[in-house]
Structure 1
């Protein structure tokens, strides 16, 4: 079937050697310089930039089942050229690639005014969400890929007409951390309001009632615990779901204080991103069910 051969070399009292020979077709190599491919689109065009031919093939098959056209490139240079040529609705970008890695490709995409608005979903075996969001990635997935989550992520970013999950108020004193978390929530479909302390947070809530509040417990001046107490004493705000953020561990007493005040306590960091994303999805799902029920 494969067109090869098997040879046996054996002598009495000696070991037997089997030699298997298979022909190699070098006319269409599948290495990092494989030619870019563009699939036909019935439901939109997604560009996959990945040096692994097996990963490219899996993504083409998986996304193609839903009518998506999938263009592929095996390296960063070809990926950038293809992005300029087809203006895809989303890009799935591998991080670990030879010569021009995913970070360099992402930086080039965001520096190009014609490409900067295209949502880029980073995929890697290494969890580096902070760097990804700081460079402008719309989302970050780790390998091995959860295919259902990939589908949901691609759909969310390539369909900008989808209604927002709601308004989230992020109360965080550290500006870089605040910006990184805001990008993460925006990538999950949330509209964002931000405040660096309790005072500005009250001003944001007076302007518009949020649907979700994230509070760092280590806020300056009026601390996060005090702000949570104020929220729970206000009849107009007490039903808003709250996620508490903390840089360090909490004592049993502090956890007991938070038990009836917050949905979840999360320690920001690379390992907690999935936990936060799962909680955001649960809250968005509950809001959507309530909205549908209210229309019924």
Structure 2
């Protein structure tokens, strides 16, 4: 029975641990949004074998006084698509002709009037992580210890903490989405994406919110069931205290006389009293 209870407590700890892991991974990564940018190709400068650049050739007139530059790429051929990804902290995009990335702070990209909202979003994410971590510690103490803990208080605290963590996460995600969309429209020209979509980190962040809500519902259900069971035990104890067995009859040796009635004239009866009378008292009492 104890092993089964321990397994149930460990199962209750699982969604909170997953929520904490998802939140930490999402906050530390830079794949909240991904997309492509349209960038003009640089000139190849007569360097053969260089990719993603504009090839051109030089020609000269007969007298050699003027040089003519011929560029063969036209229209969309003069541009290249570069992938980028953005997180809470930085924005990175791939470099041309290499496998590396160029990264810069995301705060330097967004408009100045929206930087305060970005810090509010980051603060809400940090609070979400702290509240989730506190819930993990409380539920972990419940798994490790058998007695000495007020489990009703633990379940109530976990339910409240996970609800607050989930609400903070939801607000933080919505604020970040608003900031990113504003930056797409009003950000610098050398950053504006041509196409973009939400990345895997953004999905992990919302997954953490969903797990916090699940953990809160589970903790509330455990708290409600424990309170109902405790109330039933108290009512059972009160019923046993007022049962008919508690009302005992007085002892016969102290309150009961053995009597024997005999008929007598004039509607009276003579009763013989055999116990609890003084020795000098008569043995019969007349009762009319």
Q: In which range does the TM-score fall when normalised by the shorter chain?
A: under 0.3
Higher helix share: 2
Higher relative contact order (CA 8 A, sep 6+): 2
Q: Which of structures 1 and 2 has the bigger CA Rg?
A: 2
Q: What is the TM-score with the length of structure 1 in the denominator?
A: 0.19
